[in-house]
Amino acid sequence: MSRGSVLAVPAFDPGLGGGHLVRCAALVRGLRALGRDARLFLPASAGGEFPRGLFATQHFDLAWVAVEADLCGKTWECIILDRFQTPRDEYLRWAELAPVIAIDEGGVYRNRFDFLIDILPNVSRVRPNIADPSLLPLPASFNPRPKDAPFAVPLKVLVSFGQEDPAGLGSAVADALSARLRLAKVEHSLDVTLLRGGLGTKKSETGNWSQSIRVMEAIPNLSERLGEYDLIVTHFGLTSFEALYAGVPALLLSPTGLHEKVAQKAGFHSLGIGKGRAKKLAAVLLGKNGVNTAFLHKLKNHCNALAARHNVDHAPKQSLAELVNSFTPNTNWNCPVCGTAYGTELPSPPLDRFSERTYRRCKHCGIIGMNRLTPPPIEYAKEYFFEFYQKQYGKTYIEDFPNLIAMGKRRLAVIKSLLPAKLAAPLLLDIGCAYGPFLAAAQDEGFSPRGIDPAEDAVQYVTQTLGIPAAQGFFPCETGELERKYDAVTLWYVIEHFRDCTPVLAEIRKILKPGGVLAFATPSFSGISGRASLSRFLENSPADHWTVWSPAACKKALAMAGFKVKRVTICGHHPERFPVLGKYARNKKGLLYRFLLAISKAFGLGDTLEVYAGK
């Protein structure tokens, strides 16, 4: 199946430097190297000498740039926003084209995004789906500085504050170091390289600087050469993490309060905000006898530990391009059951985020829906009913047949009580019938059952071993000869596997006879596990459960679909899952276990539910 293109949209506003553009250019280049069509969006206002010069150093082909005219009429798999702080209208604009994934988003709408990736640590309380500094465009090959390498004499220092340095920190550091070198009369203690950056001023520097300081606009393949230096002076950003990766101590100054806050949260040694702190940097680095080696050794040990903490003490296992190339986002701004929009314009903030998953709760019906970055790593084949089932329940699906048939007969008794009296051989369709234990129970109880399931082995077992009609396929699109009117339609732990339940419920209502029964079982987030910790409950929810239900949510959602809930049975009682006391309730014959079980049943705290509704 062909895949859509990826569009990367960088920040390119005055004062934001060129880091976002460099990162997005590297992402596009990496995706195209993987055989994926990817484009870099730049508005007309972003033209000029700098982008062309930067693209040349990045080995970036200008043919990979997308402009306004290229946006429509093209299928975009996803849009990567590296915009620093995305405005509301812009977010809505991109979200109309494709699922949006934000990188290092720091704006007020951060919590509205379906998916967040933080490559650099973020001060926001809104946690991302993925947080991993090793996704930075770190060099594939370079000469890292040995951990036990002595500091050079003179000390080689690189000063770099990005492509723009709007706060003038580079010049301030050069001023402070020059003054300190002369005051301490240690002119030859340092060998300083000041990178001015491609977006910096083109005017000649006017500072009366020491001869130990030289100015350069750029160093080709800088990230691969950081290991040549003894110290990197920079602000929080890509260069600070590249320094950690290269094994070089990083000493930070912050241009803004936000930079300082994030630097401290990430654990860097920062000397404060603004040009005035440059003098402190010079005083810390240089003493009367030259370089303060004791401070440098302490800083180096701190940075080595910081590299391990941020997962950048080794070669990256995966690049950002490789990660993005694995994405096939599935997002929905509407409830997948009742169809109500999550917000009038912007979607409501998600309940929680985990790696590759984001959950939202519908304000109208209360159902929790999942969006995913990648498809669930589960296929409904033979292994699902044997290895996977045995791992979860201690026996294979076939070995569990007697228990499943007994459970089916209990459920059928409820269905019978809700059907019209004296109905002969009620016609029943079991969606997701698997190997047919419920179908076998239905046949024993006088029903005329049919089944449908995507697993070929399961359908073959139902038709050949049990002798019950069944079709292979996915409901509602592939029902085949099963298209008729039914007295009952059942889905036992199946409804949560549909990405979109709206057409499923509509089709069930269509094929049900008047007075027919819809019955299903599904996990419940209102049980003891969800009440103890909804976040932990969702984190442990299977990767292929697109919806999570509760008794109250069932009644509202099914009413909107044209059904009336007639009975809800709370099941799956687990006293051992109670907070605090549960760990002491392992013995099913024990008094505490029986007491908590009674509490669970009395207050409906089971982790699963069965719903019986009429048309």
How many whole angstroms separate alpha carbon 386 and alpha carbon 506? 32
Residue 461 reports pLDDT greater than 90: yes
Question: What is the pLDDT confidence band of residue 71, given thresholds at 50, 70 and 90?
Answer: confident
Q: Residue 47: which region, alpha, beta or left (left: phi > 0; alpha: psi -120 to 50)?
A: beta
Task: Give Cα 108 to chain centroid, integer Å.
Answer: 19
Query: DSSP label at 390?
Result: H
- Mean pLDDT of all residues in 296-311: 95
Q: Write down all domains in the chain, each with its CATH number in brackets.
A: 5-138 (3.40.50.2000), 155-309 (3.40.50.2000), 379-523 (3.40.50.150)
Q: Which two tokens stand for residue 55?
A: 């693209």
Least confidently predicted of 111-120, 190-199, 293-302, 399-408: 190-199
Q: Which residues contact 127 (CB under 8 A, 6 or more apart)?
A: 116, 353
Residue with tokens 């509407």: 334
Strands (E), 4-75: 5-10, 38-41, 65-66
- Its pTM stands at 0.86
pLDDT at 202: 44
8 A C-beta contact, residue 109 and residue 346 = yes
Higher pLDDT, 509 or 222: 509
The stretch 60-73 carries a mean pLDDT of: 86
Average pLDDT over residues 481-510: 92
More confident residue, 386 or 131: 131
Please provide the DSSP assignment of 301-343 as one string. Answer: HHHHHHHHHTT-SS--SS-HHHHHHT---B--SB-TTT--BSS
3-class SS string, 223-283:
HHCHHHCCEEEECCCHHHHHHHHHCCCEEEEECCHHHHHHHHHHCCEEEEECHHHHHHHHH
Q: Higher confidence at residue 443 or residue 184?
A: 443
Report CA torsion sign: 87, 88, 91, 97. negative
User: pLDDT per residue over 529-552, tens digit each?
Assistant: 999 999 999 999 999 999 999 999
- For helices 401-418 and 437-444, the axis angle rounded to 10 degrees is 50
pLDDT higher than threshold 60 for residue 12 = yes
The pLDDT of residue 54: 65
Model confidence at 470: pLDDT above 90:
yes
Q: Are 540 and 513 in contact (CB under 8 A)?
A: no
Give the pLDDT band of residue 483 (cuts 50, 70, 90). low
The DSSP call for residue 562 is: T
The arithmetic mean of pLDDT across residues 193-220, rounded, is 73
Q: Given pLDDT bands bounded at 50, 70 and 90, which one contains residue 109?
A: very high
SS3 481: helix
Closest CA relative to residue 164, chosen from 13, 19, 17: 17
- The average pLDDT across 250-261 equals 94
Cβ-contact 285, 299 below 8 angstroms: no
What's the mean pLDDT in 496-517?
95
Is residue 575 within 8 A of residue 597, CB to CB? The reply is: yes
SS3 (DSSP) at 504 = helix
Least confident among 175-184, 436-445, 491-500: 175-184
